[in-house]
Amino acid sequence: MTEQSVEHTGFIGLGNMGAQFAARLLAAGYRLQVYDVRAEAVAHSAAHGAAAGASPRALAHAAEVILLSLPTPPIVEQVALEVAAPSADRKLRYLIDLSTTGPVMARSLAARLAELGVVYVDAPVSGGVAGAAAGTVAVMLACADEIAQRFTGLLSVLGRVFHVGDSAGQGQVTKVLNNLLSAGALLMSGEVAALGAKAGVDPDTMIAVFNAGSGRNSATLDKYPKAILPGTFNLGFTNALMFKDLELCLQFAQELGVSMPIGAQIGREWRAAMDQMGAQSDFTTIVRPSELRAGVEVRSRRRS
């Protein structure tokens, strides 16, 4: 047992990623109290050993440590300020944010929560729902060394921990840079694969060649085999959430006065494709506009 498992640890946000993280912590022996706006998500976690929390504030009264896994910066901000609100019986001392909020919000929350006596720990993750379930996500931890030492054990249950910096926001910078690269790889792979399929190349063989050669990337290695070639488009992350991350990255670049013309074009292309395929569709559907323009579908011919 770890030091943190002795007392209740709070977990807020049981979505596609958060539910997997909570399950891993429960399996590792952590005594979790959980909350989500969806009662069925709380009930599912409670059926696997978690204690159900009535509200975010209830978790702040029960747990010294709370982890957040929430979809957007405004929601993270609202919940963070709610749980950190002063009260005589508040136990909360550390708020670990696994969400993607961008560096500006992370720095702001760290400052505001410090005034309320709560340490904000910047720890966004990357690796998708499958990585969350398998415990293979990358955790981009940005905090002081002593805080990193305290929570590396807990976060290692979720995935591989990288201590990327000593101040809030640096984890967020790393995360949005990662997602801009990922989005660009997916868009470019969609164009290339559609052209290859139009030329009559077998889709399975084409992707296998890319992965054996210098063209391999996160899209060809992961997204095509898992979701695009089989036509399932079900990796559990929406077009809108990816676009949110692209905007956070480009806004930060603008704040620093760094020109990113290719990154900006990726943002424009993603927005156009997202509008066509639907904001709440799985982000792997972003390759479909390239397929539609070419008049092909890049699907495995070996599908049952």
222-232 pLDDT, tens digit per residue, is 999 999 999 99
- First-to-last alpha carbon distance for the chain, in angstroms, is 45
Among candidate residues 107, 114, 91, 32, the one with its CA nearest the CA of residue 67? 32
Q: Is 175 a catalytic residue?
A: yes
Please check whether the domain covering 3-168 is classified as CATH 2.60.120.560. no
Q: Look at phi and psi of residue 13 and say left if phi exceeds 0, alpha if psi is from -120 to 50, else beta.
A: left
Q: Residue 28 pLDDT more than 70?
A: yes
DSSP state of 34: E
Catalytic residue among 91, 175, 223, 226: 175
146-192 pLDDT, tens digit per residue, is 999 999 999 999 999 999 999 999 999 999 999 999 999 999 999 99
Identify the residue with better confidence: 6 or 151.
151
pLDDT band at 1 (very low <50, low <70, confident <90, very high): very low
What pLDDT is stored for residue 303 in this prediction? 62
The residue to which tokens 């559907």 are assigned: 285
What distance in Å separates the CA atoms of residue 202 and residue 199, rounded to the nearest whole number? Answer: 9
Strand, coil or helix: 27: helix
Q: Residue 5 pLDDT more than 90?
A: no
Concatenating the DSSP letter of every residue in 125-172 gives: EESHHHHHHHT-EEEEEES-HHHHHHHHHHHHTTEEEEEEESSTTHHH
Tell me the average pLDDT across 198-208: 98
Label each residue of 69-92 as H, E or C. Answer: CCCCHHHHHHHHHHHHCCCCCCCC
What distance in Å separates the CA atoms of residue 39 and residue 30, rounded to the nearest whole number? Answer: 21
> In the structure encoding, which two tokens stand for residue 258, read together?
């760094």
Backbone angles phi, psi at 15, to 5 degrees: -80, -155
What pLDDT is stored for residue 177 in this prediction? 98
pLDDT band at 123 (very low <50, low <70, confident <90, very high): very high
Identify the helix (H) or strand (E) that includes residue 65. strand 65-68
The DSSP bridge pattern shows strands 65-68 and 51-52 to be unpaired
Among candidate residues 282, 243, 287, the one with its CA nearest the CA of residue 263? 243
Q: How many angstroms separate the Cα of 295 from the Cα of each of 60, 223, 271, 284, 300? A: 54, 21, 21, 18, 16
Share of the chain above pLDDT 90, in %: 96
Count Cβ atoms below 10 Å from residue 35 Cβ, excluding itself: 24
Whether 173-294 and 3-168 are alike in CATH topology: the answer is: no
- Overall pTM > 0.85: yes
Domains in the chain: boundaries: 3-168, 173-294
Q: Residue 3 pLDDT more than 80?
A: no
Q: Residue 4 pLDDT more than 60?
A: no
> Mean pLDDT in the chain?
95
What distance in Å separates the CA atoms of residue 270 and residue 275, rounded to the nearest whole number? Answer: 8
The CATH number of the domain covering residues in 173-294: 1.10.1040.10
Q: Residue 2 pLDDT more than 70?
A: no
What distance in Å separates the CA atoms of residue 146 and residue 121, rounded to the nearest whole number? Answer: 12
